[in-house]
Amino acid sequence: MTSEGVAPLVPPGPRRVGLAAEYFLRVWRRTWVGSVFSRFGGPLLMLLALGIGLGSLVDDSSGGVGGVGYLFFVAPALIAVQGMMDAAQESMWPVYGYFTWNRMYHSMLATSLTVTDVVLGHLSVIAMQSAIASAAFVLVASLFGAFASWWALLSIPVGVLTCLAFATVLFGVTSRARTDGVFNVVFRLVITPLMLFSGVFFPVDLLPTGMQVLAWVTPLWHGVELSRDCATASADVMSLVHLAVLLVFVAGGLVLALTGMRKRLVS
């Protein structure tokens, strides 16, 4: 309440997104320890049980998948799965909470921040969390010999991109949710089936055509394939297609997220 005039108005742009992100970063710093096991432990257990346990059977009986050892087949895919899971954890209940429970989104929008700043700020912190989780996974999985080349590092941004493809779309869903009951449905009917049938544990070619189509039109399969192409240094034209599809999901998801949030928060 010193009388040096009003708050300097921060012009629209990355600085304002950064101001919004600062808050979500603070929340993350407060809560990350509690979520380490569910976020990071999950994929790691899968790597041990499936990549190494089940993988040794697969490798013994059929020499891996398409000539690639099962561990090398599964590990990069799990990075994409982890991206999807991070998005699902961060973009439903917490987002819903910010406009219904503690109403912090409303707090932010009473200041010089706008819906775009808040949404982009929140998504960028989710992307950062995903980057850290993906990097940690690559590091630990490497200790188990799950990655053979430095190209595996490229799987980290792919994990983040997969995370954002889901996070943006789910922001759009959450902003339109009337109750939080819908999130369990999303988990059961979307997230879990996608994890099982998007070529993570076996190639989608083994699925009936109808289900393959489902993999083609959802983000996870593209993330899985792109991550695998990176980690095994076998990128080709299809890799670019996967990348393009993920980017389209992020762009479309952003539109959904921004329109939904604007409608919900600025009515």
Partner 1 sequence: MPILLARGLTKTFGDFEAVKGIDVEVAKGEAFGFLGPNGAGKSSTMKMVAATSPRTGGELSMFGLDPDVDGAAIRARLGSCPQQDNLDEELTVEENLHVYGRFFGLPRAVIRERTEELLDFAQLTERRRDKVEPLSGGMKRRLTIARALVNDPDVLLLDEPTTGLDPQARHVLWDRLFRLKRRGVTLILTTHYMDEAEQLCDRLVVMDHGRIVAEGSPRALIQEHSTREVLELRLPVDGHDESDGGHTELAHLVEGVGERVEALPDRLLIYADHGDAALETVTDRGLQPVSALVRRSTLEDVFLHLTGRTLVD
CB 20 within 8 A of CB 108: yes
CA 146 – CA 48 distance, rounded (Å)? 10
Nearest distance from C-beta of residue 265 to partner 1, angstroms = 8
Question: 3-class DSSP state for residue 115?
Answer: helix
33 binds partner 1 (CB under 8 A): no
CA 71 – CA 141 distance, rounded (Å)? 10
15 binds partner 1 (CB under 8 A): yes
**76: amino acid identity, one letter:** P
Binding positions for partner 1, 108-167, rule CB under 8 A: 108-114
Nearest distance from C-beta of residue 5 to partner 1, angstroms = 7
Nearest distance from C-beta of residue 141 to partner 1, angstroms = 33
Among 28, 54, 68, 106, binds partner 1 (CB under 8 A): 106
Among 38, 62, 107, 149, binds partner 1 (CB under 8 A): 107
Nearest distance from C-beta of residue 114 to partner 1, angstroms = 6
CA 46 – CA 53 distance, rounded (Å)? 9
30 binds partner 1 (CB under 8 A): yes
Q: Which residue stretch of 8-16, 122-130, 146-154, 232-240 sits at the interface with partner 1 (rule: CB under 8 A)?
A: 8-16
Residues in contact with 214: Cβ distance below 8 Å, sequence separation at least 6, in sequence order? 197
CB atoms within 10 A of CB 222: 30
CB 82 within 8 A of CB 159: yes
35 binds partner 1 (CB under 8 A): no
Among residues 18 and 193, whose Cβ is nearest to partner 1? Answer: 18
178 binds partner 1 (CB under 8 A): no
Q: Which residue stretch of 96-104, 184-192, 219-227, 253-261 sits at the interface with partner 1 (rule: CB under 8 A)?
A: 96-104
Backbone angles phi, psi at 106, to 5 degrees: -65, -40
3 binds partner 1 (CB under 8 A): yes
Question: 3-class DSSP state for residue 261?
Answer: helix
Among 14, 22, 184, 213, binds partner 1 (CB under 8 A): 22
Nearest distance from C-beta of residue 18 to partner 1, angstroms = 9
95 binds partner 1 (CB under 8 A): no
Among residues 224 and 265, whose Cβ is nearest to partner 1? Answer: 265
DSSP tag of 9: P
CB atoms within 10 A of CB 182: 15
For 108, half-sphere exposure in the C-beta direction (CA atoms, 13 angstrom radius) is 26
Calculate the alpha carbon distances from 90 to 130, 152, 216, 228 in Å: 10, 25, 24, 25
16 binds partner 1 (CB under 8 A): yes
Task: Give contact residues for partner 1 (rule: CB under 8 A).
Answer: 1-10, 12, 15-16, 19-20, 22-23, 26-27, 30, 102-104, 106-114, 266-267
